[in-house]
Structures are given as C-alpha cells and as structure tokens.
Amino acid sequence: MQAPQARAFLVVMDSVGCGAAPDAGAFFNGTRPDTGANTLAHIAAACSEGRADQGRSGPLRMPVLDGLGLGAAVRLASGAEMPGFCAEPRGLWGAATEVSRGKDTPSGHWELAGVPVPWEWSYFPDAEPAFPPELSAEVARLAGTGGILGNCHASGTEIITRLGEEHLRSGWPICYTSADSVFQIAAHEQAFGLERLLALCAALAPRLHAMKVGRVIARPFVGAPGSFARTANRHDYAIAPPAPTLLDWVAGAGRRTHAIGKIGDIFSMRGISDLHKGANDAALFQHLMALAETAEPGSLTFANFVEFDSLYGHRRDVAGYAHALEGFDAAAGHFLARLRPGDLAIFSADHGNDPTWTGTDHTRERVPVIGWGRGLRAVGQVAFTDVAASVATHLDIPALGPGRSFL
C-alpha cells in the first residue's frame, strides 16, 4: 500500500487497441469479423511501408511509451511486431482483455473503472428507417417539429453535409446512429438553438436508456451549406453505470477526483469532484499537465483523449492516427516529467478502432496497459477490471469491484 499522499492518473487513449480480443470473431464491421484487427500494429506497419506519409513521414515513433513497454505490450497481446518498437521496457507493461459484450465507449471505460456491463446493449438496425416509428414520433413531439431527418446509420460529418441545408429549411432535427449503441441528434447551434438541442437530448435520454441504448448524443454544428462544421459543444447523455465505479470508490474515501474530457459524460458525473473540458485533445492535455502540478495528495485524475477515435479511427485515416499518436507520445514525456515521487500514471484504452480495417466501426481488441511510477513491472495478461483494482491499491483505498490488483 502507498502513503496517503500518493496520486493516480488513469489516461485513456480512446480506441488505441493492440490486437484482436479472443472473442473478436463475434464482432463485426459490416460482414467482416474483427478477427485480425490490430490498431497499433497495423498503423506501425503502414508507417514503415510508407503508406502513412501524409502530414508526417517514416516509421511510427513513440519513444516515451515504447520505453515504458508499449511495443512489448503489443507483442504480448497479439504476437505482432511493431517496426521500430524494440525498447527494453522500463515501466509497468501488459495487456488487458474485456469481458463486457460491447466494443463501445461506456463498456470499456466502466470496466476499466471496475464495473463490467451486466446487460446486452440495444442497437438499431442498419436499415432505413433505422428507428421505430414511435421513437421518431417522440423525438418530433419533444422537438416541436413535424418530423425528423436522417433516420439511418451515418457518419456524423457526412450526414450534416448531406442534410444540413434541409435541416435549416425545415427546422427538423437530424437523427442518426452507428454500429454503437447510440442515438445521435445533430442540429444547427443558431438556427435550431444549442440549448434547445441539449434539452431535447436530455428529455429523450430516459426513454433510450430504458431500451438499454447506451447514449443519446447532442451533435451541434454551425456554418452554411458547403461549410458546415461540428462544434465542441457535443454532450453525451449516457446511461448510468450499474454499480459504484473507481470514481465512486475514491470519492467515498474522501479523496478528490478530476475528470478530463468525456469522463464526466461517460460516468454521468458520479463520483467526480472536478470536471475539466476543452475544445480538443490539445486543450485537454493542458488540463492533464496542470493537474500533474496541482492535483491533491491522494487524488485520482481520470482522462479521456478522444480524437484518435473520433477524427482518425472512424474515418480510417491511418496517417492522421499515426500523427496523433506521435504527438501524444511527445506530450506524454512532458507530463511524466511533472509527476512526483509516489505518483502512478497508467495509459490504456477502451477498445480498438483499426484505421486499416473494413468499415467505420470500432474493432474488438485487447488494449495496452502501460505504467509509470512503479519501476519495471511486467504484469502480463490482465482484465480491464484489474486496472481499477490496481489504482485503488496504489491510493490505499478498498477495491470494491471484481478486479485483482497487479501492483
């Protein structure tokens, strides 16, 4: 057990998977199973072969996290070699496997925080219309409109390009979904109104949560036809975790908890003392850097960096994903240099999103578990829930979930 002044930083690199999970064959992108997906290894291979030279060039370079054990974690998880990732690990390293029946944001984050999902999520069919008539009618009633637009599976950027002008003309909200358990509503911040959009999503969320749909997501945008752009005012209305999570454990012990980025939405603000938001991952990393200096003794900082997933994974942009990984690795070095003796930092992920893969959906993968603050420690193959148990052990508080500490 650590002294009460020990601090913990749990950093989720959204979608940075490291090899297909044992049950990947039961998860699909279209008709193709996720067997063989490997976000990190496939990006590294593309870089080494000169297939990811837009905006960057050459082999993938992540010396900070590789120095802790990232390349070793990928080899452990999948047997795949990462070209250029040959450092002897100096930190804590391993790979984690999920048991929840989903490859989505809430499932991965909740399980990392000690709570596997005990139910099957509901999904909307990839058909048009995608939504039951009574649900579409309820959205229109709550919005005060004659109907809805979209009613299909779609990319968020594509659908506002396609339907934004009709939205401005009709005033009807644009509703769409994906392979995730989500219901998304896009609307123009000025013409429809941001507060009106947020109120609509908040009013609709209880109905969707009762259906075991994981999230209702407000997707505001601005601009005119030909130049529509989503804004940073996205808000997720997520179903609440089914049991107390790591955040609740820490708060219940009288400690401070800091949530960076989407963590507040994902955990419905439960167990969170302070929320730190930003327009993009660069702004969120500034919060992480500041908290390395100012976070209280005994506190937990839980961060999500979403742009690997939202900007590059779903869009199958290998070069963009590689560039983001390299930028994150450089920033991670500056963050680690600010930590104090006794601190623990763990870098992990919630699922995969292999940008070389078929389709646009997440991929079912194991995730790396890379740590600073405990010296060299090979933890092997662990469970997602073991991450929460280990953070609790470091903070010297009871671990109330099913995980086992690897510290």
Residues that constitute the known binding site for Mn(2+): 14, 309, 314, 350-351, 362
The secondary structure of 278-296 as a DSSP string is -SSHHHHHHHHHHHHHHPP
Strands 32-33 and 344-348 come out as unpaired
Q: What is the chain's length? A: 407
DSSP summary character for residue 24 = G
Sheet architecture: strand order including 377-383: 274-276, 257-260, 300-305, 8-13, 344-348, 367-372, 92-97, 377-383
C-alpha distances out from residue 347 to 38, 64, 92, 185, Å: 17, 12, 10, 31
CA dihedral 259, 250, 112, 283 (to 10 degrees): 10
What is the C-alpha radius of gyration for the chain, rounded to an integer number of angstroms? 21
d(CA 188, CA 200): 13
Q: Measured between alpha carbons, how far is residue 369 from residues 126, 195, 233 in Å?
A: 34, 39, 31
CA 368 vs CA 19, 78, 94, 387: distances in Å: 9, 11, 6, 11
Q: Which residue has the tokens 């049950």?
A: 23
Classify residue 370 by its DSSP letter: E
d(CA 121, CA 213): 6
Buried b (16+ CB within 10 A) or exposed e, 156-168: bbebbbbbbeebb
Between CA 292 and CA 246 the distance in angstroms is 19
Strand partners, 217: 184, 236
Residues marked as binding? 14, 309, 314, 350-351, 362
Q: How far is residue 167's CA from residue 301's CA, in Å, rounded to a whole number?
A: 40
